[in-house]
Amino acid sequence: MPNELSYEVSLERSNQIRADLPQHPEKYTMLTGDRPTGRLHLGHYFGTLKSRVELQDMGVHTNVLIADYQVITDRDSTDNIQDNVYNMVIDYLACGLDPDKTMIYTHSAVPAANQLMLPFLSLVSEALLQRNPIVKAEMEASGHELTGLLLTYPVHQACDILFCKGTWCRSGATSCRTSSSPAPSHASSTTATARCSPRSTRCCPTLRCCPALTGAR
């Protein structure tokens, strides 16, 4: 039986979604976004911003998160966050994101989204978090020790996705659990959070990892 979270299965599902999107865009809710650690550039435009606008104009329910709270997971200074947020919003608007069609928000502006962390932490194990490749990669890249905030980074991502009832996650191949690796990705950690308790399955949708629709957070 194929692994539902394997890259191969996710790629097949992604192709199905790509074919269905033009016919039924209203069926899909997407969360994407950026951490305001600096200025956006042309790489961001061609890598993700352009396709965000296309999906927005297609009619997909689009949510763009400026993840200001996640900056402190691996940065020592927060001096430029406010300026980076302002410039990020300006760039979004200049690229064609329309506030009448797309919800653009920051972590700090929506306390309810961050309050999900407490109940969600009760739904995942320490072992699941320790195995997450995103946590390992972020820790190695930052050179910081493993803090509580960095360890629970995938749970914060789950809060982001499930807060807006996102149904699919645009991600690269490394963000999906491969058939040869038991390490959970942010997509599989989110799915685990949503499924592992009757408390969550009543209100949380099933997240689908779609590697062909790349370029998002």
Query: Which one, of 42, 37, 93, lies nearest residue 64 by Cα?
Result: 93
Assess if residue 158 is contained within a domain.
yes
Is 90 exceeded by the pLDDT of residue 36? yes
Kindly state the average pLDDT of the residues 119-129: 85
Q: Which two tokens stand for residue 205?
A: 């949708």
What is the pLDDT averaged over residues 139-156?
81
16 versus 203: the higher-pLDDT residue is 16
Q: Which of 9-13, 35-39, 84-88, 197-201 has the lowest mean pLDDT?
A: 197-201
Distance, in Å, from the CA atom of 176 to the CA atom of 179, rounded to the nearest integer, reads 9
Query: Among residues of the chain, what percentage have pLDDT more than 70?
Result: 74
Q: Which domain holds residue 45?
A: 10-212
* Per-residue model confidence (pLDDT) at position 180: 30
Residue count of the chain, please give it: 217
Segment 161-194, tens digit of pLDDT: 888 887 766 554 434 433 233 334 445 545 544 4
Mean pLDDT of 129-137: 79
Q: What's residue 124's pLDDT?
A: 83
Q: Is residue 92 part of a domain?
A: yes
DSSP 174-200: GGSPPTT-----HHHHHHHHHHS-HHH
Q: Do the domain assignments include residue 2?
A: no
Q: Is residue 208 predicted with pLDDT exceeding 70? A: no
Residue 200 clears pLDDT 60, i.e. is over it: no
d(CA 192, CA 122): 12
Q: Would you say residue 77 lies in a domain?
A: yes
Question: With 80 as the cut, is the pLDDT of residue 16 above it?
Answer: yes
Residue 205 vs residue 178, higher pLDDT? 205
Rounded to an integer, the average pLDDT of 18-30 is: 88
pLDDT at 104: 96
Question: What is the C-alpha to C-alpha distance for residues 87 and 107, in angstroms, rounded to an integer?
Answer: 16
Average pLDDT score over residue span 98-125: 90
Higher model confidence: residue 121 or residue 213?
A: 121
Per the model's pLDDT, the better-predicted residue between 190 and 59 turns out to be 59
Residue 95 sits in a domain whose CATH number is 3.40.50.620
Q: Is residue 217 part of a domain?
A: no
Asked if the structure places residue 139 within a domain, the reply is yes
Domain count, the chain: 1
Mean pLDDT of the chain: 77
Query: Is 150 contained in some domain?
Result: yes
Domain presence at residue 4: no
Q: Give the span between the Cα atoms of 132 and 73, in whole angstroms.
A: 15
Q: What CA–CA distance (Å, rounded) separates 134 from 130?
A: 10
Is residue 58 over pLDDT 80? yes
pLDDT at 48 over 70: yes
What is the pLDDT confidence band of residue 156, given thresholds at 50, 70 and 90?
confident
Q: Which residues pair with 34 in a beta bridge?
A: 66
Round to whole Å and give the CA distance between 36 and 71: 7
